[in-house]
Structure 1
Amino acid sequence: MMSIQGMQVDVRTPDGVADAYIAHPDDGNPHPGVLVIQDGFGVRPGLRALADRIAAHGYTVLLPNAYYRHGRAPVIELPELIDPAQRPEIFQEVIPMIRELTPELLRSDAAAYLEWLAAAPQVAEGKAGVTGYCMGARLAVLIAAMFPGRVAAVAGFHGGPLVTDTPDSPHLAAGNITAELYFAHAGEDDHMTPEHIARFDEALATAGVRYRTEVYPGAQHGFTQADTAAHDPAAAERHYRELLALFDRTLPVGRSPSAPENSLRGNSSRGLG
């Protein structure tokens, strides 16, 4: 693990300025860029710690505040341990902001984030990696479809909804994706039922996307987030292993010589321990 440096930055977008957190190895060298898309609860210490851990593996990580139109992070007051069952009003605050992130707004925001990464001296030349959590996994798929020439790899964890009956459903955009995808679904998650997962996999396979999906048995929606009641330490560690393996083999520099090449196009592995 490398020592890292983290700091707050501002990213100018067509609608204003998005506050963001950047973390990168403290070695003076450029490293592959990674864009982290927040979950519904927003940018907070737990997500910054997640960005730090990715950066310590050899990446320059940008974590923007997707709710910047409502103010700088933290946009809402959150308890130290987030448990929506005990604090249902949290959803009442975040759901309207989630719904505001239309594909049109996402396109303009994501373009600004990717351009910022490409111009940053801490970032190596080449395509970026994207990882998203909960709602961020949905947005990550759409970003990969909107910017196929800019994104090399996408990972999504306990994402949803990835399959809907609306025209902007992520699974309908699979035909535009050139990145390699890895998705880990929670075994206990109403947002992505087995039927949803099957439809998502079918869309990726039909489009010829290079992908792998897995279900983490017993894990709940939000299992990666250490500051939530859904946190599952074993599943969270597995998420880091899979995420970093994906980036190591797909991003332009920093590849691991021992990382196995995934030659499968369309591989869904369910119920693996």
Structure 2
Amino acid sequence: MQIPTTDGSADAFAAFPEDGERHPGVLMYADAFGIRPALREMARELAGHGYYVLVPNFFYRNGPTPLIDLPEHIGEEDRPALVGRLMPLIEAHTAERVLRDADSYLTFLTAQPEVSAGPVAVTGYCIGGLLATRTAAAHPGQVAALAAFHAPVAADGPDSLRRLTAEIHFGHAATDITPEALGGLNRSLDAAGVGYTSEIYPGTVHGFTMSDTDAFDPAGLRLHWDRLLPLLARTLANG
């Protein structure tokens, strides 16, 4: 699947119930390791709950997925070298690029015949959580729900969070944020006047939702689903 953008064409993966019905759309941003079996599995699981899930390769300017060779299981010993290869791509993926791409992704998602009319949700993991947050802030009338997990959601500063209107869940790794920083983040969300939950998942490390890494925490992944699915059910007309 290819998504037309202003800078080319982004390859993508989509999962949806093949029942001939239309379902609410969810734009899912992967972590920096990109679209791979673990992400496809997560997209299929979410789709099984009645959603059309679109996962774009947001590094498409550098080539199609996979951009780098990934081991079947990403161990802690593998991570530094892999992140080192991806860091130039992350640094080149400016906020301006993110917002241009978000327009293209949402236009494509909502035009699919299997996607129902109405608002959409945006989810993301690690750096993808920051992209999801930027997307939700830029499309307040269209994005009804935002979920981000082990993500640097406050990287753009508190003022950026005040532009959010979606209902939000931020699930933080215990190693990613201090209780003091969490309090500051949540005060910014209070100032935005949005409905939200923002919490540290106990005992987790960065990347805890990813089943193909050493960071994976099964309890953390279950809690992620326990937070994400009710959020989508509340905010999207699933049916």
Q: Specify the TM-score bucket, using the shorter chain as the normaliser.
A: over 0.9
Please tell me the residue identity of whatever aligns with 1:184. G
Amino acid in the other structure paired with 1:232: D
Query: 2:134 — aligned with what?
Result: 142
Q: Which runs of 5+ in 1 are unaligned?
A: 1-8, 255-273
CA RMSD in angstroms comes to 1.2
Query: Which residue is equivalent to 1:79?
Result: 71
- Cα displacement (A) at 1:253: 2.9
Q: 1:225 aligns with which of 192, 197, 210?
A: 210
Structure 1 residues 237 and 146: alpha-carbon distance in aligned structure 2, compared to 1, 3 A threshold: same
Note if 1:163 corresponds to 2:148: no
How far does residue 120 in structure 1 lie from its aligned partner after superposition? 0.4
Cα distance in structure 2, aligned partners of 1:241 and 1:220 = 18
Q: Does 1:27 align with 2:16?
A: no
Q: Please name the residue that 1:57 is paired with.
A: 49
Relative to structure 1, the CA distance from residue 84 to residue 16 in structure 2 (aligned partners, 3 Å threshold; closer, same or farther) is farther
Give, in whole Å, the separation in 2 of the partners of 1:146 and 1:170.
15
Match of residue 234 from structure 1: 219
> TM-score scaled to structure 2, two decimals?
0.96
Name the counterpart of 2:191: 206
Q: 1:186 aligns with which of 173, 176, 179?
A: 173
Offset at 1:228?
Answer: 0.6
Return the offset for 1:88: 1.9
Check conservation: 1:81, 1:227, Cα contact below 8 A.
Answer: yes
Quote the Cα distance in structure 2 between the aligned partners of 1:75 and 1:252.
Answer: 36
How far apart are residue 173 of structure 1 and its match?
A: 1.2
| Residue type of the alignment partner of 2:154 | V
Deviation >4 Å, runs of 4+: none
CA distance in 2, matches of 1:154, 1:227: 24
**For residue 238 of structure 2, what is the aligned residue in structure 1?**
253
Match of 2:112 among 89, 95, 120: 120
Residue by residue over 1:110-165, the C-alpha shift from the partner in whole angstroms, topping out at 9 and shown as x without a partner, is 000000111100100011111100111111111111111110000011112x334x
Aligned-residue offset at 1:87: 4.5
* CA distance in structure 2 between the partners assigned to 1:97 and 1:193 by the alignment: 28
Q: How many residue pairs get matched?
A: 239
Q: Cα offset for 1:84?
A: 3.8
Partners of 2:173 and 2:205 within 8 A in 1:
yes
Tell me the distance in 2 between the aligned counterparts of 1:47 and 1:38: 7
1:175 is displaced (CA, Å) by 2.2
Contact in 2 for aligned 1:153/1:179 (Cα 8 Å): yes
Q: Kindly state the Cα deviation for residue 240 of structure 1 after the two structures are TM-superposed.
A: 1.1
Q: Identical aligned pairs, as a percentage?
A: 46
1:153 corresponds to 2:153: no
CA distance in 1, matches of 2:57, 2:24: 21
CA distance in 2, matches of 1:170, 1:79: 35
Contact in 1 for aligned 2:146/2:168 (Cα 8 Å): yes
Cα-to-partner distance string for 1:197-248 (whole Å, 9 max, x where unaligned): 2221111101112111111110111110000100001110111121111001
The one-letter code of the counterpart of 1:76 is I
Match of 1:176, SS state, is coil
Higher relative contact order (CA 8 A, sep 6+): 2
Give the Cα–Cα distance (whole angstroms) in 2 for the partners of residues 196 and 11 of structure 1: 37
User: Are the aligned partners of 2:165 and 2:192 in contact in 1 as well (CA < 8 Å)?
Assistant: no
For 1:48 and 1:196, the matched residues in 2 are separated by 32
Partner Cα distance (1:139, 1:185) in 2: 16
What does residue 261 of structure 1 align with?
none
Aligned to 2:7: 15
TM norm structure 1: 0.85
1:215 corresponds to 2:200? yes
Provide the C-alpha distance between the structure 2 equivalents of 1:81 and 1:207, rounded to a whole number of angstroms: 39
Separation in 1, partners of 2:158, 2:136: 12
Question: Which secondary structure does the structure 1 equivalent of 2:11 belong to?
Answer: strand
Instruction: Describe the shift of the 1:234–1:139 C-alpha distance in structure 2 as closer, same or farther (beyond 3 A).
Output: same
Inter-partner Cα distance in structure 2 for 1:250 and 1:27? 22
